């Protein structure tokens, strides 16, 4: 802004919106000729809410590196702070060290050493507020009713709809 004339600096400074640390808020104004691109689906003068503050911290626990990579990238591309674990025991040890480091856990059910339902139960005992999403390709050990009974918020059978998972992670699916 230093290269602008003082009057332009004042006008530009009026457009900046203070934001919490570690986030950015912008106010962008576009001038488009009325009707240049057909009727506008947006109403002029209606504010658009943009999330601010720290991103939701999501842990993905899956022993399949391809699934973990896919879920990690999907969630990261949608604004979540993602940590992936290929070893459920490592995830549990990290959680035991500081249960408040995570907001949502997305875990597979069938994994060596520690199954997803056992991992979820241990995490929920330490911090009942953590949201846990259990995903499985097999339903012989636990089904949706059993998962919900131990405190899991969402149960997905693989393959699942990515948009449904994103809604569950955001917590805006009505649950």
Is residue 67 in some structural domain? yes
Q: What is the pLDDT of residue 135?
A: 95
Q: What is the pLDDT of residue 95?
A: 98
> What is the distance between the alpha carbons of residues 89 and 93, in angstroms, rounded to a whole number?
6
Question: Is the per-residue pLDDT at 18 higher than 80?
Answer: no
Cβ atoms 86, 68 nearer than 8 A = yes
pLDDT for 98-152, tens place per residue? Answer: 999 999 999 999 999 999 999 999 999 999 999 999 999 876 678 899 999 999 9
Is residue 6 in some structural domain? no
Question: Is the per-residue pLDDT at 42 higher than 60?
Answer: no
Q: Domain containing 83: what range?
A: 57-170
Domain tally for the chain? Answer: 1
Q: What is the pLDDT of residue 54?
A: 81
Is residue 40 in some structural domain? no
Is residue 48 in some structural domain? no
Q: What is the pLDDT of residue 174?
A: 42
Question: Is the per-residue pLDDT at 156 higher than 50?
Answer: yes
Per-residue pLDDT band at 51 (split at 50, 70, 90): low
Is residue 111 in some structural domain? yes
Is residue 72 in some structural domain? yes
Angle between helices 162-170 and 65-77 (to 10 degrees): 60
SS (H, E, C) the chain: CCCCCHHHHHHHHHHCCCCCCCCCCCCCCCCCCCCECECCCCCCCCCCCCCCCCCCEEEEECCCHHHHHHHHHHHHHCCCEEEEECCHHHHHHHHHHCHHHCCEEEEECCCCCCCHHHHHHHHHHHCCCCEEEEEECCCCCCCHHHHHHCCCCEEEECCCCHHHHHHHHHCCCCC
Task: Please tell me the pTM assigned to this model.
Answer: 0.69
> What is the distance between the alpha carbons of residues 36 and 131, in angstroms, rounded to a whole number?
46
Is residue 135 in some structural domain? yes
Cβ atoms 174, 167 nearer than 8 A = no
pLDDT for 61-97, tens place per residue? Answer: 999 999 999 999 999 999 999 999 999 999 999 999 9
Is residue 93 in some structural domain? yes
pLDDT for 71-80, tens place per residue? Answer: 999 999 999 9
Mean residue pLDDT of the chain comes to 79
Q: What is the pLDDT of residue 142?
A: 86
Output the domain CATH number for residue 75.
3.40.50.2300
């Amino acid at each position: 802004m230093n290269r602008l004339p003082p009057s332009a600096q004042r006008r530009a400074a009026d457009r900046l919106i203070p934001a919490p640390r570690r986030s950015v808020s912008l106010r962008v104004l576009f001038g488009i000729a009325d009707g240049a691109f057909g009727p506008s689906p947006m109403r002029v003068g209606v504010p658009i809410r943009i999330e601010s503050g720290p991103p939701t911290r999501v842990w993905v626990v899956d022993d399949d590196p391809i699934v973990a990579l896919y879920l990690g990238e999907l969630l990261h591309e949608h604004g979540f702070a993602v940590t992936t674990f290929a070893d459920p025991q490592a995830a549990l040890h990290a959680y035991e060290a500081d249960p408040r480091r995570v907001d949502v856990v997305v875990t597979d059910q069938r994994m060596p050493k520690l199954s997803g339902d056992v991992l979820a139960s241990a995490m929920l005992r330490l911090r009942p507020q953590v949201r846990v999403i259990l995903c499985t390709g097999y339903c012989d050990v636990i089904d949706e009713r059993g998962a919900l009974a131990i405190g899991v918020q969402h149960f997905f059978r693989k393959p699942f709809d990515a948009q449904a998972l994103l809604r569950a992670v955001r917590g805006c699916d009505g649950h």
